[in-house]
Amino acid sequence: MNHIKETILIIEDENNISSFMSTILTANGYDPLLAKTGAEAFALATSHCPDVILLDLGLPDMDGLQLIRSIREWSRVPIIVVSARTHERDKVTALDLGADDYVTKPFGPSELLARIRTALRHVRSRAADERVAQTGVFRAGGLVIDYDKRRVFVDEQDVHLTQNEYKLVSLLGKYAGRVLTYDYIIRELWGPNAKGNNQILRVNMANIRRKIEKNPAEPAYIFTEVGVGYRMIEGE
Ligand code: CA
């Protein structure tokens, strides 16, 4: 089989962390590239056009957030923030600036690899997404979103979502595996003027969980990223 390795740019100034990531990536068939500073990273990003960027926010020469802004001026390459910063504000800012996802340190290999797979899958489906409306079926465990019928099923039972609830579930399904911020969801669903109205979102999510989750307090399909947003489980 002809397999072209995907290039992953690791932007990380701590040697032990970057070599840990590099080892995991090599072992899983990726081609890692290493940068220790923002300047180095920017040069490599432009010269090598990596398939995914893993970005530490605390860099010696600049804030990683600044780097997201510069890269987004010319590229849509998936950027996964890998940071020790646990402040929700930093995560939200990174995502709003155009980062695709984030992983909080310390993290395990499987978590990192899952995020990379999700990012690559979204790149592949993006071109198709832009041409046609979402069609087909999303499936994860007992949950099925039928985009043609605009219906959601759990264990083959129609869960009878309202229009708003369906829009929310279908949006999360479209970006399954990825965290979507509250503001992003609100803008997508109800337009720019609804910005900041988290109450509608919370009420809709509570109703959705009552309909689709066996135990709404411990969701199996749609997870809350506290203070940041929601994430749908990865599809099959
Ligand atoms: Ca650092």
Tens digits of residue pLDDT in 38-72: 999 999 998 888 999 999 999 999 999 999 999 99
109 Cα to the center of ligand 1, angstroms:
19
The two counts, helices (H) then strands (E), for the chain are 8, 12
- What's the pTM? 0.75
Q: Are 182 and 198 a contacting pair, CB within 8 Å? A: yes
Q: Which of 106, 137, 136, 116 is nearest to 51 (CA)?
A: 116
Q: Which of 62, 100, 107, 66 is nearest to 83 (CA)?
A: 107
- In whole angstroms, how far apart are CA 209 and each of 13, 48, 180, 194, 230? 41, 43, 17, 22, 12
35 Cα to the center of ligand 1, angstroms:
11
Q: What is the largest CA-CA distance in the chain?
A: 55
84 Cα to the center of ligand 1, angstroms:
8
135 Cα to the center of ligand 1, angstroms:
41
Tens digits of residue pLDDT in 106-126: 999 999 999 999 999 888 776
178 Cα to the center of ligand 1, angstroms:
23
Above 90 in pLDDT, residue 87?
no
195 Cα to the center of ligand 1, angstroms:
33
60 Cα to the center of ligand 1, angstroms:
7
12 Cα to the center of ligand 1, angstroms:
6
